[in-house]
Amino acid sequence: MGSLGISTTFTVGVLALQGAFNEHTQLLRSAAKFHPATQFTFLEVRTAAQLATCDALVIPGGESTTISLIAERCNLLEPLREFVKVQRKPTWGTCAGLILLAESANRTKAGGQELIGGLDVRVNRNHFGRQTESFQADLDLGFLAAEGGKAVPFRAIFIRAPIVETLLKASDGAQEDEAQKPETVIAPSKDVAEGIDPSIKRAPVEVLGTVPGRSAATKRQDGTTDNEAGDIVAVRQGNVFGTSFHPELTGDARIHAWWLGEVVKTMEARKSS
- 248 is known as an active-site residue: yes
Residue 31 or 101 having the CB closest to ligand GLN: 101
Inter-residue contact 49 to 13 (CB < 8 Å): no
Binding to ligand GLN by residue 63, rule CB under 6 A? yes
Q: Whose Cβ is closer to ligand GLN: residue 122's or residue 160's?
A: 160
Size of the site for ligand GLN (CB under 6 A): 12
Report the site for ligand GLN in 95-154 (rule: CB under 6 A): 95-96, 99, 125-126
Which part of the chain contacts ligand GLN (CB under 6 A), choosing from 60-68, 73-81, 84-92, 222-230?
60-68
Cβ atoms of 127 and 144 closer than 8 Å: no
Shortest Cβ 189–ligand GLN spacing (Å): 23
- Of the pair 11, 218, the CB lying nearest ligand GLN is at 218
Q: Does 247 bind ligand GLN (CB under 6 A)?
A: no
* Residue 233 interacts with ligand GLN (CB under 6 A): yes or no: no
Instruction: Among 160, 190, 214, 254, indicate the residue that binds ligand GLN (CB under 6 A).
Output: 160
Closer to ligand GLN by CB, 71 or 267: give it: 71
Binding residue for ligand GLN, selected from 8, 40, 61, 93, defined by CB under 6 A? 61
Catalytic-role residue among 95, 103, 114, 256: 95
Task: Report in angstroms how near the CB of residue 17 gets to ligand GLN at its nearest.
Answer: 12
Query: Judged by CB under 6 A, which of 45, 159, 205, 264 binds ligand GLN?
Result: 159
Q: How far is the CB of 71 from ligand GLN (least distance, A)?
A: 13
Residue 54 among the catalytic residues: no
Three-point CA angle 123, 218, 227, nearest 5°: 90
CB of residue 159 vs ligand GLN: minimum separation in angstroms?
4
The answer to whether residue 24 is catalytic is no
Instruction: CB nearer to ligand GLN: give 18 or 239.
Output: 18
Q: HEC string of the chain?
A: CCCCCCCCEEEEEEECCCCCHHHHHHHHHHHHCCCCCCEEEEEEECCHHHHHCCCEEEECCCCHHHHHHHHHHCCCHHHHHHHHHHCCCCEEEECHHHHHHEEEEECCCCCCCCCCCCEEEEEECCCCCCHHHCEEEEECCHHHCCCCCCCCCEEEEECCCCEEEEECCCCCCCCHHHHCCCCEEECCCCCCCCCCCCCCCCCCCEEEEEECCHHHHCCCCCCCCCCCCCEEEEEEECCEEEECCCHHHCCCCHHHHHHHHHHHHHHHHHHHC
Q: Give the list of residues 6+ apart from residue 209 with CB closer than 8 angstroms, or none.
A: 139, 140, 141, 232, 233, 234, 243
Site residues for ligand GLN per CB under 6 A = 61-64, 95-96, 99, 125-126, 159-160, 162
Just list the catalytic residues. Answer: 95, 246, 248
